[in-house]
Chain A
Amino acid sequence: MPWPGLLGLAILLGWLLVTAFGPALLGQDGADMGNADVFAPMSAQHWLGTDYLGRDMLARVVQGARYTVGIALLATLLASSVGTLLALLAAASAPWVDALLSRGIDTMTSIPSKMLALIIVAAFGSTLPMLIPTAALIYVPGAFRIARSLAVNINAMDYVTVARTRGEGRLYIMLHEILPNIVNPMLADLGLRFVYVVLLLASLSFLGLGVQPPDADWGSLVRENIGALANGSAAIIAPALAIASLTIAVNLLIDNLPGRAARGEH
């Protein structure tokens, strides 16, 4: 793998470790308001300063990693795989299956995503296990659209026709003939979609539908501390950098996955 890919992998692994062990290692409670000032600058005691309530920012970011990395990554993976599988099914099946799936998903797209989230949260409550499928559901149509347009093109190729005249089943055609030829653009799409999910989580938190205070994902951390933007406090820069580093790392890794270059893409 070229070095940008390794860099991406290293950052991603770093954040995964932080997610798993960070809070325990840090030994500092992100909920403790202590006696520090609001928006205190970086210091030996508070490495990243404090937030709008005087809580330790490093602890907040480390705790937020659990939500952002966990929820966003899982939701994105879920959305992309469900979208891709449905798209493969649509492309390899009879026209009416395609029409049914495509129009059904069009209908879903017509509901504004925040409203859809609102309805789901209202119906099932705002718990973490619910947030993941909610975010995934909102991004399935996008993944489906892209995967379907790619899969329909591949489906028209002669080698798929040959497989069909050989008598291959639908599953074989979907998974062996079409999927390997659309997986690269779908991975690139996954990288982009991940960024959107992080943003969605932040906006859901803003509406009070996402991660509930006092817990906060990185998006919410940026929003909570937006008041400090004017004086350049670390309280807003730290979570923003965390989001940036994670999304860049995911995209670096995906763009440099082994096999992508070897397949001779032009």
Chain B
Amino acid sequence: MGAQVQVQGLRIVAGARHAEQTIVHDLSFAIAPGEVLALIGESGSGKTTTALAMMGYARTGCRIAAGSVRIGDTEVLALDAAGQRALRGRRVSYIAQSAAASFNPSRTIMDQVVEPALIHATATRPEAEAKAVALFRELALPSPDTIGARYPHQVSGGQLQRLMAAMALITDPELVILDEPTTALDVTTQIDVLRAFRRVVRERRTTAVYVSHDLAVVAQMADHILVLRDGQMRELGATPQILAAPAHDYTQSLLAAARPKVREAGTTSAATAATAETPLLEVRQLSAGYGPRDKHGQPKALILEDINLKLYRGQAIGVIGESGSGKTTLARAIAGLIPPCRGEMLFDGQPMPPTLEQRSKEELRRVQIVFQMADTALNPSQTIERILARPLQFYRGLSGQALQRRIRELLDLVKLPATVAGRLPGGLSGGQKQRVNLARALAAEPELILCDEVTSALDTVVGAAVLDLIAELRRELGLSYLFISHDLHTVRSVCDEIVVMQHGRKLAQVARADYERGPHHPYYELLARSVPELRQGWLDEQAAAA
């Protein structure tokens, strides 16, 4: 049974002694025993900082300046170091986002799962192990009796996340903090993990804090939702109220961004009219992989096998699949970064050479690639102006006034103020960086843009704005996209057709008109079913259906 949690006037500051900035402003809330409170907000909103403060912990550089956190009858912030040690892992436990980074790779799973119980001496080793096995069973892990003997790398990411939950629950804590526990998982894995978490939290009546940026996930897990922005509470309410009648503007925009939305190309009826003309890009029986090639020209690790794809001018095709399905490899093969070992690519009816070195400048210009991580896609030592100027000089030979004018136009096109031109990428937010990233691709005036998970690293609201921009650019400039993503929502909203990939093979291709109409390939159905929907009770329905 969980404890009553009461937070009063919590204020957390960061920075040097004399230049402290408040990152969490006078937060007060309470959680009834056995309830789940979700902290939701974008990155930098202070949600993890708040969650960590519930254990009396502040990250390096941060300091809990004021307030009170009561768990049961204990005032957490008044505890000394020894008191905090006795509290953490015993009465309050923490489940981190990346289980892979939280397990020691050189010790067995059982050793690590029973560790909190042994440290706090709540059980002897055999008792703790028996309890761990019971927890494994509760969390629906395969072969619960023997999985503990394995090492972390011998289980999957989703299993590891559940094992971490077992580690957190082994001491029967009064409060569990779950910090984005499913964000790094594939959708089909996420649903299993969510289901397992929900069951143990319900059955044990544990009080829990669930930190997430994903409103649809939170809707399945939480009784109450606290919306945070810039360290301030924007709204606190019961889940049904927040979902149905959000009071605050920011909550409304969060909800709007999380709702599926169709961003059609509008006037271009490319998908229908184009079938007669030559495709802009045609991929025929493409196979590609990594590593040295054997005598048949087969690479050591074959990633893509026998991919066929046609993309017409003005069309947007989404490529969807789980991690390891080969979708990024496909984009890299088309971009010329990985020479295919078999098959061919035609661009506008003309064969396209397989490697970068063989392609002409003009061929290179027509296909541009935009990467997922805007942080690593922009050279940190070049100003935005220089980043955008280079393709203009390189492909178009622009200089002087014309160059400056074009840079301003590009910034305008991606809706960035002209003032960012002089800044280094470090001075931009994640969403702004992704816009610069897009602008650089647009500078080449390409016909096809390969988008590799362009919104995956962005917050919901920011990501939605970038998607809007992508759809708008397509409408205005008649661009074609190959849009790679693991998120079916995203792909559905911007693409005319969806290619489903698994284990390096193309399984199915679904046109927009058929998104809602079945029957589809079972794997597509599974993906579609696994995307959490923005309403309560969705997870239970899925459980009932399964």
Q: Kindly state the separation between the CA atoms of A166 and B367 in the bound complex, as whole angstroms.
A: 9
Whether the pair B336, A165 counts as a contact (CB closer than 8 A) is: yes
Chain B nearest CB: distance from A164 CB in Å? Answer: 6
Question: Is A180 interfacial (CB 8 A cutoff)?
Answer: yes
Q: Number of A residues contacting the other chain (C-beta, 8 Å)?
A: 17
B371 contact from A162, A176, A177, Cβ within 8 A: A162
B364 contact from A157, A158, A167, A180, Cβ within 8 A: A167
Whether the pair B371, A161 counts as a contact (CB closer than 8 A) is: yes
Question: Is A181 interfacial (CB 8 A cutoff)?
Answer: yes
Q: Mark A197-220, 1 if CB is under 8 A from B, else 0.
A: 000000000000000000000000
Determine the chain A residues whose CB is within 8 A of the CB of B27 once the complex forms.
Answer: none
Whether the pair A158, B371 counts as a contact (CB closer than 8 A) is: yes
Determine the chain A residues whose CB is within 8 A of the CB of B365 once the complex forms.
Answer: 167
Which residue of the partner chain A has the closest CB to B369?
A165
Chain A nearest CB: distance from B334 CB in Å? Answer: 10
Question: Is A168 interfacial (CB 8 A cutoff)?
Answer: yes
Near A by CB (< 8 A), chain B positions 439-475 give: 440, 444
Q: Kindly state the separation between the CA atoms of A153 and B369 in the bound complex, as whole angstroms.
A: 20
Which residue of the partner chain B has the closest CB to A156?
B376
Whether the pair A158, B373 counts as a contact (CB closer than 8 A) is: yes
Whether the pair B373, A166 counts as a contact (CB closer than 8 A) is: no
Question: Is B494 interfacial (CB 8 A cutoff)?
Answer: no
Q: Mark A128-171, 1 if CB is under 8 A from B, else 0.
A: 00000000000000000000000000000111011111111000
Which residue of the partner chain A has the closest CB to B378?
A159
Chain B nearest CB: distance from A166 CB in Å? Answer: 6
B444 contact from A163, A164, A166, A168, Cβ within 8 A: A166
Chain B nearest CB: distance from A92 CB in Å? Answer: 13
A158-B371, A162-B369 as given contacts; A167 in contact with B361, CB under 8 Å: yes
Chain A nearest CB: distance from B339 CB in Å? Answer: 13
Q: Kindly state the separation between the CA atoms of A176 and B386 in the bound complex, as whole angstroms.
A: 11
Question: Is B426 interfacial (CB 8 A cutoff)?
Answer: yes
Which residue of the partner chain A has the closest CB to B335?
A165
Question: Is B359 interfacial (CB 8 A cutoff)?
Answer: yes
Near A by CB (< 8 A), chain B positions 159-201 give: none
B394 contact from A168, A180, A264, Cβ within 8 A: A168
Chain B nearest CB: distance from A160 CB in Å? Answer: 8
Question: Is B122 interfacial (CB 8 A cutoff)?
Answer: no
Q: Kindly state the separation between the CA atoms of A1 and B170 in the bound complex, as whole angstroms.
A: 56
State the main secondary structure of chain B at its contact with A. mixed
Question: Is B356 interfacial (CB 8 A cutoff)?
Answer: yes
Which residue of the partner chain B has the closest CB to A159?
B379
Determine the chain B residues whose CB is within 8 A of the CB of A264 once the complex forms.
Answer: 424, 426-427
Near B by CB (< 8 A), chain A positions 172-191 give: 176-177, 180-181
Question: Is B130 interfacial (CB 8 A cutoff)?
Answer: no
Determine the chain B residues whose CB is within 8 A of the CB of A263 once the complex forms.
Answer: 380-381, 424, 426
Question: Is B391 interfacial (CB 8 A cutoff)?
Answer: yes
Chain A nearest CB: distance from B364 CB in Å? Answer: 4
Question: Is B337 interfacial (CB 8 A cutoff)?
Answer: yes
Near A by CB (< 8 A), chain B positions 325-377 give: 335-337, 356, 359, 361, 364-365, 367-369, 371, 373, 376-377
Determine the chain B residues whose CB is within 8 A of the CB of A165 once the complex forms.
Answer: 335-337, 356, 364, 367-369
Near B by CB (< 8 A), chain A positions 75-96 give: none
Question: Is B154 interfacial (CB 8 A cutoff)?
Answer: no
Question: Is B21 interfacial (CB 8 A cutoff)?
Answer: no
Determine the chain A residues whose CB is within 8 A of the CB of B440 once the complex forms.
Answer: 162
Determine the chain A residues whose CB is within 8 A of the CB of B394 once the complex forms.
Answer: 166-168
Chain B nearest CB: distance from A221 CB in Å? Answer: 42
Determine the chain B residues whose CB is within 8 A of the CB of A180 once the complex forms.
Answer: 379, 381-382
Determine the chain A residues whose CB is within 8 A of the CB of B373 once the complex forms.
Answer: 158
Q: Kindly state the separation between the CA atoms of A163 and B387 in the bound complex, as whole angstroms.
A: 10
Whether the pair A157, B336 counts as a contact (CB closer than 8 A) is: no
Q: Kindly state the separation between the CA atoms of A167 and B366 in the bound complex, as whole angstroms.
A: 12
Which residue of the partner chain B has the closest CB to A178?
B379
Which residue of the partner chain A has the closest CB to B375?
A158
A166, A180, A263, most chain B CB atoms within 10 A: A166
Whether the pair B337, A177 counts as a contact (CB closer than 8 A) is: no
Which residue of the partner chain B has the closest CB to A161?
B337
Residues of A within 8 A of B (CB): 157-159, 161-168, 176-177, 180-181, 263-264
Q: Which A-B residue pairs are the 7 nearest by beta carbons?
A: A180-B381, A158-B377, A167-B364, A158-B371, A159-B379, A158-B376, A264-B426
- Interface contacts beyond A157-B377, A165-B337, A264-B426: sample of 13 additional A-B pairs, CB < 8 Å, sorted by A: A157-B376, A158-B371, A161-B371, A164-B337, A165-B356, A165-B367, A166-B364, A166-B395, A167-B359, A167-B361, A180-B379, A264-B424, A264-B427
- 27 intermolecular pairs with C-beta atoms under 8 Å apart: A157-B376, A157-B377, A158-B373, A158-B376, A158-B377, A159-B378, A159-B379, A162-B371, A164-B337, A164-B356, A165-B335, A166-B391, A166-B394, A166-B444, A167-B356, A167-B365, A167-B394, A168-B394, A177-B379, A180-B379, A180-B382, A181-B380, A181-B381, A263-B380, A263-B381, A264-B424, A264-B426
